[in-house]
């Protein structure tokens, strides 16, 4: 099995991007969302990845950061099978990045380089090129739940601020460069939770503190407030300690 897989999707296809398997993996696999069945090979990343990395997507294109601690950004067209190609570079190589995006802009938030980092980089998804400065996160934070987005706002939930887990949540407005703003607190301080969202609601599921968690909490993306209990996972899960 592979752990620490990141993912992207359009309305018909979901892609699982690499992950950690022994010394790392570069495999991408996909499923057709409306059909049951095993995952099918999509293509490969240029490099093996040995740590969970960050991915985001528009309705047509997916992007993933590269090797653990590297500054590479790769892209691929979700509707077309094939290997990922070079997109550009982050301003600084780091891992544990929390990502977010809408149809046009992506933001890579926080990370570890190897010290905790508060920088945020932005890219225009449809245009190849290096990331540029967006602003700073509210805390030096990494391994939180990202991909909690509406069309206008991107949020990150919980994570790790050395030497402890944190319950801090923050958000950015995609159309405006600037520092992140405090959103509120998650129900539990933890890192390596999985983020997901609709256009209005975001969730953080699972994570680690001090062991694997089954907690799911949610926020309403358009408003600022503390997260609320959503329910529990069927089993406690985390990428790792």
- Reported as a single tens digit per residue, the pLDDT across 130-143 is 999 999 999 999 99
pLDDT tens track for 170-208? 999 999 999 999 999 999 999 999 999 999 999 999 999
All residues at 6 or more sequence positions from 36 whose CB lies less than 8 Å from its CB, including other chains: none
Q: Name the pLDDT band for 3 (thresholds 50, 70, 90).
A: low
Tell me if 15 sits within 8 A of 75, measured CB to CB: no
Q: Against a cut of 0.85, is the pTM above it?
A: yes
- Provide the pLDDT for residue 25: 73
pLDDT tens track for 26-49? 889 999 999 999 999 999 988 776
How far is residue 152 from each of residues 103, 120, 123, 227, 231, measured CA to CA in Å? 10, 17, 15, 19, 27
Whether 19 shows a pLDDT value over 80: the answer reads no
Tell me which DSSP letter residue 193 carries. P
All residues at 6 or more sequence positions from 164 whose CB lies less than 8 Å from its CB, including other chains: 189
d(CA 131, CA 116): 19
């Amino acid at each position: 099995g592979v752990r620490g897989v990141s993912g992207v999707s359009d309305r018909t296809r979901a892609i699982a991007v690499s992950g950690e398997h022994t010394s790392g993996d570069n495999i991408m696999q996909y499923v057709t969302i409306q059909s049951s069945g095993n995952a099918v090979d999509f293509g490969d990343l240029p490099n093996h990845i040995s740590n969970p990395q960050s991915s985001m997507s528009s309705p047509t294109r997916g992007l993933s950061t590269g090797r653990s601690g590297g500054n590479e950004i790769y892209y691929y067209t979700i509707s077309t099978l094939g290997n990922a190609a070079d997109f550009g570079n982050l301003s600084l190589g780091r891992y544990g990045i929390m990502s977010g995006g809408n149809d046009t802009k992506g933001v890579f938030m926080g990370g570890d380089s190897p010290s905790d980092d508060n920088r945020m980089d932005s890219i225009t998804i449809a245009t190849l090129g290096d990331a540029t400065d967006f602003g700073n996160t509210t805390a030096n934070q990494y391994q939180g739940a990202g991909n909690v987005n509406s069309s206008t706002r991107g949020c990150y939930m919980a994570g790790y601020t050395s030497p402890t887990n944190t319950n801090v949540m923050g958000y950015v407005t995609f159309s405006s460069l600037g520092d992140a703003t405090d959103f509120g607190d998650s129900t539990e301080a933890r890192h390596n939770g999985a983020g997901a969202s609709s256009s209005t609601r975001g969730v953080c599921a699972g994570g680690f503190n001090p062991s694997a968690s089954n907690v799911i909490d949610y926020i309403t993306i358009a408003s600022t407030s503390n997260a609320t209990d959503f329910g529990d996972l069927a089993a406690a899960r985390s990428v790792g300690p």
